[in-house]
Amino acid sequence: MSAGAPPILIAQDVQKTYGARTALRSLSFSLGRGRVLGFLGPNGAGKTTSIRVLTTILEPSAGRFEVDGIGSDRPVEIRRRIGVLPEGLGFPRNTTGIEYLTFYGQLFGSGSRESRATAIALLADVGLQNRGGSLVGTYSHGMRQRLGIARALVNDPRVLFLDEPTLGLDPRGQQELLTLIQRIARERDTGVVLSSHLLSEIEGICDDVVIMNAGHVVAKGTVAEVIGQSGAPGTGERVVRVRVPATLVATAQSLLDAEPVVVRTTLTDPIAGWLAIETKDDDRPDDGAADRNRLLAALIRADIPIVAVETGRGRLQDVFLQLTAEAIE
């Protein structure tokens, strides 16, 4: 974010209702230039509704938002300043990549030559320079997602909305797309709103995060702030996370709970076998290293295989699971 620059996107108490059903309650956040904001939430949390409201596809029932200083009462002006990759976007089959982008460039007010030049440049930017002349119907899913991002960039948007962009992509495709998104934010100074189910990808590339559940915002801030403020098991400073075989988690948990340095042991991921062990804060200068070693030694003595160990700041996934579970309860 440019120093001292005002936020490029501000949402204040945005709400959306369908009759008696409330899909979105009080969405408030801001996004800076060049920053990536992760929109997290389980299915039905209101992520897509939020994006559709903020991109002027849906009318908010209450509240307001601004994009680059343009208020939500001027939807056409907002559309000029945003780029959007909707979830599950379809493409015409009988059009080439260049023709597709040229068409959209023209819809945004550019001349045909200029649009075509932009289309060719954007195809190169997203790694499709060799397929620009091919029919979109022949593109793979990953290539279509890249083309969709290129389409979202034809108007040089101030804010880019990406709704589940990596859905259905293989791990390499996901990684490449995330790298591309990060590059767009940094090099164009574009604010990016990234909706995703994949917590690891959000944690990896996002500067800020908004966690939603059942239409509510349950947490927001930088990734570090959200993890730090959550109080979720496994997210404190004096926490070590240990992964053991799922069949041995109960044995490991009781063993660790019996250790005098342990405050509590929480099973954070029963399927993968992750345990979060919070140790006592005794102000020793080793920052708990000796305690961690003692715990690991105890597991080794009990012949419990240690599959993985994590220390330091907790994982976003733990925060997400706790916050969304609390909201459901």
Partner 1 sequence: MTAPVTAPEDGGIRGASRPIWWLVFVQELKELWVGGRALNLLILFTALMSATSFLLATNSELSLTPPRLMMVVTLQSTMSFGLFLGLIVGAESVSGERERATLEALLLTPAGRRAVVLGKYLAALSPWPVAMALAVPYVVLLAQGDVALGIALVWGAALGTILTIFFTGIGVLASMWSGSTRTSLFVGLLVYLLALLPAQLPGEFQATTAGAVLQALDPLESARQFLNQYLVDGVALDDARLLLVAPILALVAVLIAILGFAAPRLGLDGATISLPRLPTFGRGA
Q: SS3 for 239?
A: strand
CB of 178 to partner 1, least distance (A): 16
Query: What part of residues 149-178 is at the interface with partner 1 (CB under 8 A)?
Result: 151, 153-157
Q: Please identify which residue in the block is written with the tokens 């979060």.
A: 276
**Separation between Cα atoms, residue 294 and residue 302, nearest integer Å:** 13
For residue 191 the two structure tokens come to 């604010």
* One-letter amino acid of 103: F
- Contacting residue, 22, 42, 81, 197, with partner 1 by CB under 8 A: 81
Is 133 one of the binding residues for partner 1 (CB under 8 A)? Answer: no
Contact region for partner 1 (CB under 8 A) — 1-9, 79-87, 165-173, 241-249?
Answer: 79-87
Helix axes 223-230, 316-328, angle to 10 degrees: 60
Contact 28, 62 (CB under 8 A): no
Which lies closer to partner 1 via its Cβ, residue 22 or residue 266? 22
> H or E element: which one contains 81?
helix 75-81
Which lies closer to partner 1 via its Cβ, residue 188 or residue 238? 188
Which lies closer to partner 1 via its Cβ, residue 70 or residue 169? 70
Contact region for partner 1 (CB under 8 A) — 109-117, 218-226, 235-243, 262-270?
Answer: 109-117
> H or E element: which one contains 211?
strand 208-213
Is 129 one of the binding residues for partner 1 (CB under 8 A)? Answer: no
CB of 182 to partner 1, least distance (A): 12
Q: Please identify which residue in the block is written with the tokens 């793979």.
A: 140
- Contacting residue, 19, 73, 130, 303, with partner 1 by CB under 8 A: 73
Is 71 one of the binding residues for partner 1 (CB under 8 A)? Answer: yes
**Count of all residues that appear for the chain in the document:** 329
Query: What part of residues 175-214 is at the interface with partner 1 (CB under 8 A)?
Result: 183-184, 187-188
* One-letter amino acid of 152: A
**Separation between Cα atoms, residue 196 and residue 178, nearest integer Å:** 11
- Contacting residue, 7, 8, 23, 104, with partner 1 by CB under 8 A: 104
Is 89 one of the binding residues for partner 1 (CB under 8 A)? Answer: yes
